[in-house]
Amino acid sequence: MEELIFVKERNTMKIFTSKQVKEIDQLTITNEPVSPEGLMERAARKLFTWITDRFDKSREILVFAGPGNNGGDGLALARMLWIEGYKVLTFFINTGSKTSDCWEVNRSRLKNETAVPFYVINQLTDFPEVQRNSILIDAIFGSGLTRPVDGLAAEIIRKINQLDVVRISVDIPSGLFGEDNTGNIAENIVSAHYTLSFQFPKLSFLFPENYRFTGEWSVLPIELHEKAIHATQSNYFLTDRSDIFFRLKRRGKFDHKGTYGHGLLISGSYGKMGAAIMGAEAALRSGAGLLTCHVPGCGVNILQTALPEAMVQPDQSEVCISAIPELNNFTAAGIGPGIGTGKETQSALHELLKMCKIPLVIDADGINILGLNKEWISLLPENSVLTPHPKEFERIAGKTGNSYERLMRQTEFSRRHKCFIVLKGAFTAISDPEGSVYFNSTGNPGMATAGSGDVLTGMITGMLCQGYKPLDACLIAVYVHGLAGDIAAGKTGFESLIATDIIRNIGNAFIQIRSDKL
């Protein structure tokens, strides 16, 4: 028996490859110990609970099962549903492949313990008539798939996708690969409304082009061996509240504003002073002790009126950023929101890159300027934080064919330039110089609004001011930013949410993180 050594670490959810999950399954079977059939029973019971909590017995449930263990999960689920009193039909897709041992066990139990009809689909004409209000369980292929679906299974999947029914995929939509779907055939992948993934999400769930297949996904814990999970290495993580809770510092009774640093925010241009205001308030709301805003001359009165808590230092230009102040008095700096990409501003950023020795955040037009002057990327101070959206990232790193390729490019960029990339999106991906990537679990579509990124820049800058390490600053700021957006959306709805709503709820997000029981 393989001995597993337990190493305690923060409770960050790891994201494993499909191969690694299979290995963890085997380690669970070996070390718990539990039989393969027992582990499948455990997984099916979780599926059963999720489905029976949401759907009553008035709806017919159709289980489409393939020949492997994913199909075995489906057959075990069918048995449990029938015993509970649901009307269940099962359909076996005969691809010609040998059925797994666990499949055989559950086929036998289904036959001996229930009266669930079992139909074999040998050709497309065997496909059943399906009632509109039915629930279809996709248990055809699991995460071990390594090539695009073809033949009869592809025909069945395309037929399934045409049905006006609720589609629920077991572990992963059939046909979808767990990681890289480059070269996969989209029409031969089940388009699920819900995906119920065992123990961990799949990496491919976090990419926007795969949402059409996964729908809303949930992770169902099936008690895989904890030591096996800790012993298995991964470069991919999904941050949750407990992880952020343990990263947050506690404030001391005798702390003062100097304890929490003095930040510099270089932002704004004529007509874009709102970006400076939002970034500055977000930095202060995130805990920075002091903040100075370096802005064009035209923005001084605007900023001091809108945000009296911030100090203001005017640029020599009335309309744009044209120079960089001395940095000796600052503990962290942020640049980019609303600065434009004019020649004078480009020169100012160039000067900052050459002189900066403090933690630095670069966003928005700061990144666009780097895209216009790619040779300057080599000047990035070590451990700088860049916060692009996908198009901005493309400008500094080049085009990619899909999200998986972009993720590979992102990790390579962080390694090569020893920087942190906060690639903004539904699951904002934070890559570090060591090659790890942390996906964020908070946020909502309402945050796709003007100024949301400026708020995040201010928040990361504010966290760096307080002495947080760059990784912790990024993880905390991104999580709190998303949670503040979630709290705001609960009050305004998605359509009406604006960036200042996020700022107003930063404090509520911190309260929620600190006050809820873990």
Per-residue pLDDT tens digits for 20-59:
999 999 999 999 999 999 999 999 999 999 999 999 999 9
5 pLDDT tier (thresholds 50, 70, 90): very low
Query: How far, in Å, are 49, 456, 504 from residue 109 at the CA level?
Result: 19, 54, 56
| CA–CA dist 308, 277 (Å, integer) | 10
> Is residue 4's pLDDT more than 50?
no
Mean pLDDT value of segment 150-155: 98
Between CA 404 and CA 434 the distance in angstroms is 18
Could you read off the pLDDT of 79-104 as tens digits, one per residue? 999 999 999 999 999 999 999 999 99
CA distances from 352 to 34, 132, 270, 349 (A): 59, 62, 21, 5
User: What's the pLDDT at 516?
Assistant: 65
Q: Give the CA angle between residues 301, 304, 310 to the nearest 5°.
A: 145
- The pLDDT tens digits for 354-399 are 999 999 999 999 999 999 999 999 999 999 999 999 999 999 999 9
Beta partners for 63?
A: 90, 137
Backbone angles phi, psi at 218, to 5 degrees: -130, 150
What confidence tens digit (pLDDT) does each residue in 448-489 have? Answer: 999 999 999 999 999 999 999 999 999 999 999 999 999 999
Asked if 419 and 454 touch (Cβ cutoff 8 Å), the reply is: no
Alpha helices in 125-220 (DSSP H): 151-162, 211-214
Query: How many alpha carbons lie under 13 Å from residue 363 in its C-beta half-sphere?
Result: 30
Do residues 477 and 469 lie in contact, with contact meaning Cβ atoms separated by under 8 Å? no
Task: Give the pLDDT of residue 518.
Answer: 56
Task: Tell me the pLDDT band of 504, cut-offs 50, 70 and 90.
Answer: very high
Domain locations in the chain as residue ranges: 13-234, 241-247+259-515
* Cα–Cα distance for residue pair 512/488, rounded to 1 Å: 13
Query: Quick one: which of 414, 387, 60, 29 has its CA closest to 223?
Result: 29
Q: Does domain 241-247+259-515 have CATH number 3.60.20.10?
A: no
Task: Classify residue 518 by its DSSP letter.
Answer: -
CA dist., res. 22 & res. 228, Å (int): 11
pLDDT band at 6 (very low <50, low <70, confident <90, very high): very low
CATH of domain 13-234: 3.40.50.10260
Summarize the chain as % helix, strand, coil (round to 5).
Answer: 45, 15, 40
What number is the average pLDDT over the span 4-17?
Answer: 64
Q: Write down the mean pLDDT value for the chain.
A: 96
Same topology between domain 13-234 and domain 241-247+259-515: no
How large is the average pLDDT for residues 491-507?
98
